[in-house]
Structure 1
Amino acid sequence: MPPRRRTDPAVGRAAVTTWRDHPDDLRARRTAVRFTLEELADVAPGHTVEVRVPPDGAVQAIDGPRHTRGTPPNVVETDPETWMQLVTGAVHWDDAVADGRVSASGERADISMLLPLQAVRRRD
């Protein structure tokens, strides 16, 4: 069963739009990050990879062996700005990993196949 959403999708999409127009809007960014993490967990439910975007949120996703204690074996960590760029398609996964903006450890930590997230792609 996918995790229960805490962010209304309409509110989340609006926050992403606000973030695009005003990247320094802290409230919009925090809501957008939480929404996109929830979206990732909805698209790829599971407990194999922990995706961390401190200080705004974290989620477990990707089907596979369940992690229950200690440091997860598969972790993705990045800052909120990079995360938003990844989920919206402004930055490519390989580039963000190569230049150190994303830390991805573990054999299942490559989540590039899920990015950008469909729910936040521009609809121009």
Structure 2
Amino acid sequence: MSQVISPKDAAAALTDYWSPRVVGEVDDSYIKVAKVLGTFGWHSHEDEDEMFLILSGQLRIEMEAGAVELAEGEMFVVPRGVRHNPVAAQECCLMLIERKSTLHTGNVVTARTRSLAEQLGSA
């Protein structure tokens, strides 16, 4: 049976920045929350879109064609294959919806890369 959660509270309770946690799933997608601060790093997801919903704070998503600024309550979908770099000047909590096949940092591995086991809380 599913349980009621507050994505905002779940994200706020995280202690590590840029380390998303899976809080639910819908069909072939995971619902994740994260607490972020600073610059994540350029990457792309060749076969998957990535949805960002801001739960608190602000996030800038830099892309080669320009950047979008997101405030609390706003969302943006980065289309598959688009190189992007999320940046939070101050602490920001967000929710992500991604296919289960989406790799955290796409086709690059960085110090911020988290495995699916880590995101599921089983590592």
Q: State the TM-score, normalizing by the size of structure 1.
A: 0.28
Structure (1 or 2) with the greater strand fraction: 2
Between Structure 1 and Structure 2, the one with more helix by share is: 1
TM-score by length of 2: 0.29
